[in-house]
Amino acid sequence: MSAGKLQAGVRKSLGLRQVEVAKEAKIDRSRLSLIENEWIEPRPEEVVRIKDAIQKLTEKHYQE
């Protein structure tokens, strides 16, 4: 399984929308879609930014 598919699965299971993860990760939403659908390989720094964005948004949602 690719990093993009794995991150998409985590994002979806947490109820996060692609647009909010992309915004937090400072990645264009269309690029995130391409990564999640395995059309392109993410750069290593994008993998980290997406992971950090998912983590931050999850923590934010649980604090509310």
Provide the CATH number for the domain around residue 13.
1.10.260.40
pLDDT at 3 over 90: no
Range of the domain at 34: 3-63
pTM of the model: 0.89
Which pLDDT belongs to residue 21?
A: 97
Phi and psi dihedrals of 43, rounded to 5? -70, 155
Instruction: Give the count of domains, the chain.
Output: 1
Using left for φ > 0, alpha for ψ between -120 and 50, and beta otherwise, residue 26 falls in: left
Cα gap 5→50, rounded to integer Å: 12
Selected residue with higher pLDDT from 51 and 3: 51
Which pLDDT belongs to residue 63?
A: 77
Measured CA to CA in angstroms, residue 63 lies from 30, 38, 56 at distances of: 29, 32, 11
pLDDT at 24 over 80: yes
Query: What average pLDDT does range 15-19 have in this prediction?
Result: 96
pLDDT at 64 over 80: no
Are residues 8 and 36 in contact, defined by beta-carbon separation less than 8 angstroms? yes
